[in-house]
Structure 1
Amino acid sequence: MAQPNRPLRVLIASDTYPPDVNGAGYFTFRLAEGLAGRGHRVHVVCPSEGGEPHVTVNGNVTEHRLRSAPIPFQSAMRAAVPLGMGGHIARVLRRLDPDVLHVQSHFPLSRSALRRGRAEGVPVVLTNHFMPDNLYAHARVPRPMQHAAGSLAWRDMVRVAGEADHVTTPTPRAAELLRERGFAREIEAISCGIDLDRFHPRAGDRAAARDRFGLPERDTVVFVGRLDEEKRIDDTIRALAMIVPERDAQLVLAGTGQREAELRALAARLGVADRVFFLGFVPDEDLPMVYAAADVFAIASVAELQSIATLEAMSTGLPVVAADAMALPHLVEEGRNGFLFPPGDHVRLADRLLSVLGSEGRRGELGRASREIAQEHDHHRSLDRFEAVYTRLRGSGQGRSASERVMVA
């Protein structure tokens, strides 16, 4: 019989987890830490960061690291090795006997966990962080084949999601996208959330932050994230080259990725190499100071299901200039906390950046509105909602028979 006041036993399965650097991995980490901080018993099954399987206790979270191998063309990440993976997950499930299993994708580890969980009668929640655009560059999919590859990938995602008891996405736009791809059941939008206590306005720390990262005193545009194709960082560098004659400005890029060499070369060709600063990987604990060094956050990406980095920037009180694509319009209210621009239009991006940088007073108004909007994404609200979903599933008897689920082909 369910005991409503008993702490939950939660197993989270993810194909990516820190030290991987990506939004899905960070979300999963923060979810696990947040739930454990509320007294729940939380275990995570994910790829080993070094290759060999092991179990470690990280704070209040127990990590079951499965044997892994490097991902081709993606040296910074590893994937769980299929051989023996299902049996390993089954043993974790039997030992923990979780109230709920929460998988973070339809990729091999998460998929195996979902099906093992169903076989053990465990209710399953699936959160979709998937966008084919985020995989094309990593998998080296030729452009002529991307549409067909994306269609097949979506079909597979929809089929796997149909096996879960409850499906969530980070934003309403992400839920709409999943419906457009043929998922017919209920989808709940639950924000990835942001820690408003860690990421808060630090205007008094600006000089110290710029000094820490070796940045001159100039108008500063910042981007935090992977330096990969779908992020369209070349658009932001081109925009910087357009605004430099009018403003003494610079661009700060915090992150690593496949396009770093190309981006450095582009900055040199455009004559702004001395104004584009590549910080490389910045540890999570130092990210608040990256935002403190900036005057505005710019994101030209076209493949964001939410964008944790944009939420972090907003929470620190930065205006945002973002591409009018995917879920970014959910975060930017035109003229209130920033501006949108047509994807790929670096001329309009430059114009929007000048609108923000041109007036310190206006910049402050936009930044305060960003903080207000970010408060709607307080990670405590997200944790409340996931707790409620888990508790409902624990007490509903869902997950007891895989044959009872309606499969979505």
Structure 2
Amino acid sequence: MGEAPSTLPGRRRTHSGARRGAGGSPERRRVLIGSDTYPPDVNGAALFSARLARGLADRGTDVHVLCPSADGPPRVTEIGGAVEHRVRSAPSLVHETVRLAVPAGLPGHIDRLLARLRPDAVHIQNHFIVGRLLLRAARRHGIPVVATNHFMPENLFTYLHCPAALHAALGDRAWRDFVRVTSGADHVTTPTRIAAQLLLDKGFGRTVEAVSCGTDLHRFRPLGGGSAERAGARRRLGLPDRPTLAFVGRLDSEKNIADLVEALPHVTVPDTQLVVAGAGPQRPHLEELARQRGVADRVHLLGFVPDADLPDVYHAADVFIIAGTAELQSIATLEAMASGLPVVAADAMALPHLVQTGRNGYLYPPGNAGDLAKYAGEILAGGEERDRMGEESRRLASRHDHQASLARYEEIYRELSPDPGGRIRRL
């Protein structure tokens, strides 16, 4: 396949199963993360994978990542303390921004990589090309495997141009494939208890652990300067200083962003604007819908916002709103809550895990733009009540500290490491 060789040769294990450095001192634990999507891809699985890799590296783990090349040719680079082994990729036929790993020659490349790195654990983020092949290879090499699920078939229907009448059948087949592949892992996690129960309901026959994606409580935190700081964030983003509803995420149909635009004319607080940070194929449709509803001057589609600038998006907002119905957790909602924002969310999938009605926001029936507008308007007009809900959001988000999630994954890797006989212990 002609993949680029690793620039960091693997170090051999001792007979005890742990690598030893100079003088016999224990070396860092080594983990290989495998993902079919990784930055610059913009989606929850890619974002989680990168934050996991870089967070573990910051905490002292020797982290390697196997993922598709962002532009085609294979290469090995180090970013954020994690070594990225980018395999040859080709454009996807179903999505303009997604590239897929080229399967030809990939199994042999993975075998050579595992033999060279000899990781203590493999952690796959998907069950598609990279994840599937890496899981199989890890089993052959006797390396324990953790699998984290970010998958829901609903996220694929639009890209596959699948008629609605076939969604149920396609979804059932996709879940059967998921169960078959990931049953080979030693430990399976997913972000929330609701998402874990979904896997059990779909036929997965083993325990699934809920481990939050987590959020950086230092980067994403409430405003310190009140309305003046909020006005400053709006200026930096080129926005008018108006009451603001915000959403952060891909502009894809399963996110139901059209519901946010439909709700805007019905929000009773004058001059309320909608700010959307994210890119995707739905942008032309959203622009046309805003014109049709007479709110084009109050809908601001910011496009892709670099991760470093995301705190400004949350600080520019008064309320975070989300209409998605296929969220296994929603990293963006966690970031908004950590930033001290009340949330109005669709009462679907795992969003009720984050939003408690009357405490830090409201849940509304999916697709009901009228209720979305009503709840958003009530919070905007609430003054002290809005501030109280924002404080509750921050308190609830504090349960999802990214460092706690990283610590739990470190524990899982340790618990799964081979014993002196090389046997894998399944949790």
For residues 405 and 170 of structure 1, what CA distance do their matches in structure 2 show?
20
Separation in structure 2 between the aligned mates of residue 396 and residue 334 of structure 1, nearest angstrom: 48
Residue 63 of structure 2: aligned partner: 42
- Which residue of the partner structure matches residue 180 of structure 2? 159
Tell me, in whole angstroms, the C-alpha distance in 2 between the residues paired with 1:292 and 1:145: 42
Q: In 2, are the aligned partners of 1:13 and 1:101 still within 8 Å (CA)?
A: yes
Runs of 4+ more than 6 Å apart: none
TM-score by length of 1: 0.96
Question: Partner of 2:23 in structure 1?
Answer: none
Q: Which amino acid aligns with 1:55?
A: V
Q: Which piece of structure 1 moves more, 309-318 or 351-360?
A: 351-360
SS of residue matched to 1:76: coil
Amino acid at match of 1:234: A
Q: Note if 1:212 corresponds to 2:236.
A: yes
Residue of structure 1 equivalent to 2:148: 127
Q: 412, 415, 423: which is aligned to 1:389?
A: 412
Aligned counterpart, 2:335: 312
Q: 1:188 matched to which residue of 2?
A: 209
Distance 1:329 1:125, change over 3 A: same
Shift of 1:49: 0.4
Q: CA deviation at 1:348?
A: 0.7
TM-score, normalisation: structure 2: 0.92
Residues 395, 292 of structure 1: alpha-carbon distance in 2 compared, 3 angstrom cutoff: same
Cα distance in 2 for partners of 1:19, 1:26 equals 9
Identity value in percent: 56
Cα distance in 2 for partners of 1:380, 1:153 equals 33
Q: Is the 8 A contact 2:361 2:389 kept in 1?
A: yes
Shift, 1:42, TM fit: 0.4
Note the alpha carbon deviations across 1:89-136, whole angstroms, 9 max, x for none. 111111110000000011111100000111110000000000011111
Query: Following superposition of structure 1 onto structure 2, how do residues 52-131 of structure 1 map, counting pairs within 5 Å?
Result: 52-131=73-152
- Displacement, 1:209? 1.1
Q: Counterpart of 2:357? A: 334
* Aligned equivalent of 2:399: 376
Q: How far apart, CA to CA, are the structure 1 residues paired with 2:218 and 2:413?
A: 25
Query: Which of 232, 250, 253 is the aligned partner of 2:273?
Result: 250
Deviating more after overlay: 131-140 vs 291-300: 131-140
Asked if the contact 1:13–1:104 (Cα under 8 Å) also holds between the matched residues in 2, the reply is yes
1:226 and 2:247 are equivalent in the alignment:
no
The total of aligned residue pairs comes to: 403
Uncovered stretches (5+) of structure 1, i.e. residues with no partner: none
Q: Distance in 2 between matches of 1:89 and 1:143?
A: 37
Asked if 1:241 is matched to 2:265, the reply is: yes
Equivalent residue, structure 1, for 2:319:
296
Match of 2:194 among 159, 169, 173: 173
Q: CA deviation at 1:14?
A: 0.2
- Structure 2: how far apart are the matches of 1:18 and 1:376? 26
**Cα separation, partners in 2 of 1:399 and 1:212, compared to 1, 3 Å:** farther
Quote the Cα distance in structure 2 between the aligned partners of 1:286 and 1:398.
Answer: 49
- 1:398–1:115 Cα change, 3 Å: farther
Q: Work out the CA distance in 2 between the residues paired with 1:172 and 1:126.
A: 16
Contact 2:237 2:312 in 1 (8 A): no
Q: Is the contact made by 1:118 and 1:400 (CA closer than 8 Å) also made in structure 2? A: no
2:55 corresponds to which letter in structure 1? G
Q: CA deviation at 1:59?
A: 3.0
* Match status 1:140 vs 2:161: yes
Matched, 1:270 2:293: yes
Per-residue Cα deviation, 1:169-189 (whole angstroms, up to 9, x for no partner):
010011000000001111100
1:282 is the counterpart of 2:305? yes
How far is 1:8 from its partner?
1.0
**Which runs of 5 or more structure 2 residues have no equivalent in the other structure?**
1-15, 20-25
Alpha-carbon separation, structure 1, partners of 2:18 and 2:140 = 23
Q: Deviations over 1:365-402 (max 9, x none)?
A: 0001000000000001101100000000015579847x
Matched to 2:259, the amino acid is D
> Equivalents in 2 of 1:381, 1:117: separation in Å?
27
Q: Deviations over 1:292-332 (max 9, x none)?
A: 10000000100000000000000000000000000000000
How far off its partner does 1:247 sit? 2.5
Letter in 2 for 1:316: S
Q: CA deviation at 1:7?
A: 2.2
For residues 211-249 of structure 1, the C-alpha deviation after alignment (integer angstroms, 9 at most, x for no partner) is: 111111111000000111111111111111111x54220
Do the aligned residues in 2 keep the contact of 1:47 with 1:80 (CA within 8 Å)?
Answer: yes
Tell me: CA distance 1:189–1:365, structure 2 relative to 1, closer, same or farther (3 Å): same
- Determine if contact 1:210/1:293 at 8 Å carries over to the other structure: yes
Contact 2:343–2:362 (8 Å) recurs in 1: yes
Say which SS state the counterpart of residue 391 (structure 1) adopts.
Answer: helix
Q: Which moved more, 1:27-36 or 1:73-82?
A: 73-82
Are positions 1:345 and 2:368 aligned together?
A: yes
What value does the CA root-mean-square deviation take over the aligned residues? 1.7
